[in-house]
Chains A and B, each alone.
Chain A
Amino acid sequence: MDRGQIETLISRVALNDRAAFTGLYDATSAKLFGVCLRVLNDRAAAEDAMQDSFVKVWKHASRYQANGLSPMTWLITIARNTAIDRLRATRKGHVDIDTPGLELAASGAGPEQMAVASGEARRLVGCLDELSEDRGVAVRGAYLDGQSYQELADAFSVPLNTMRTWLRRGLMSLRECMSRE
């Protein structure tokens, strides 16, 4: 199913179209379940997280068009954030990341800006590999395992502020690498 078809389904879901919702589930649930499983590494928890993600999709589909994300990015970001919130809930002192993708007001991002971003996105994996190995691992750890600065600092046995500086530099190199032609 291509981008346009998924967008159409989401826009129909925004109108409470249940058939479209079922269609969207059939088309995208395997990817979202894969993402939830990768984050949570537990089938029952991943099932719950995916279900919660689709409940959010049903409730917030009307906000999708305003936020400028490509449809799969929107769906995957919801699933990833939901899974990470669930993962963190099992940890001490957890903080919800509050699914920022959902709450966005109109970003005003035009299709051109987003085409640039998704062009860059294709370079992300190569650029992650270009980072020093530790930094690449830290970015992945934050995104896919929901690790906080403190957890990353502990994992790499460095002080918290060092971890912050370190990862921020990593993010800037990443940005620079991705925007390179």
Chain B
Amino acid sequence: MTDDVAPQGDDLLAAELALGLLEGDELSQANARALRDPAFAVLLVAWQERLVAMTDEIAPVTPPKHVKKRLLSTLFVTAPVPVLQRLWIWKGLSFAALALAAFLGVQQLGPETPPAAGPLYATQLMGDGVPLQVLAVLDARQGDVALSRVAGREAEGRSFELWAIVPDTPPISLGIMQEGATMRVALPENLRSRGAEITLAITDEPAGGSPNGVPTGDVLAASALVAI
């Protein structure tokens, strides 16, 4: 025990933090540590778990009804439909929608949720005979398309290229899909207000993308954006 001074010190510090006994610099340092030091956070959580037993003997008391009413009206008064919820409702796309919403930097929580974002368009690109699934959301206000790759890998030495297709125009390259789950591509200025008309497509191209600016390989997936 005696050669174990440091861990014991940390354990004490965690206990004092959990009890609310720290003040000033000690408090801010300990809070900062809980955020960046997982071992310390474990100690803190363990103390919170232990100390909460002191509330076991506290009997529940049903709060008056008006508290609930006030709470709900405080939280939900503005009621813009958050982006995340729109994605959620759209297809119940749980994981992909979450990853994408996080990537979009969506303010998803709380009463300060900003007014609903501008028009949103989304689609799910499903591979035609190949295991490819990409969720795309066009945020007209940001002027870009956020992509979340749920499934699919490029063939060796090949790239996936993303295209925007609008009526009476050759496909416009939006670039190569990067590796990784999510990415964001800027939309050309003249397409930003045309979300409802855009079809997105993914083609199989040589590494680095089509050499001549038009699709050269197979169209792996194509799907029109719809407003959500």
Contacts and interface: CB of A to CB of B under 8 A. Distances in A.
A103 B21 contact: no
Interface stretch (B7-15, B176-184, B213-221): B7-15
Interface string A112-149: 01101110111011001000000000011011101011
B34 to A, nearest CB: 6
A178 interface: yes
Contacts of B75: 21, 55, 58
Contacts, number: 186
Contact of A124 (B18, B20, B50): B50
Interface residues of B, number: 58
Nearest to A70: B49
B27 A95 contact: yes
A84 B55 contact: no
B166 interface: no
Contact of A104 (B23, B45, B46): B45
Interface of B: 8, 11-12, 15-21, 23-24, 27, 31, 34-36, 38-39, 41-42, 44-46, 48-64, 67-68, 70-72, 74-76, 82, 84-85, 88, 98, 108-111
Contacts of B35: 103-105
A73 B36 contact: no
A172 interface: yes
A10 B54 CA distance: 23
A116 B46 CA distance: 9
A80 interface: yes
Interface residues of A, number: 72
Pick the 6 closest A-B CB pairs, nearest first: A30-B60, A107-B41, A97-B20, A124-B53, A117-B49, A59-B110
A60 B45 contact: no
B46 A103 contact: no
Given A69-B45, A109-B41, 8 more contacts: A16-B88, A29-B63, A34-B55, A68-B41, A80-B52, A81-B20, A117-B45, A171-B16
A41 interface: no
A76 B61 contact: no
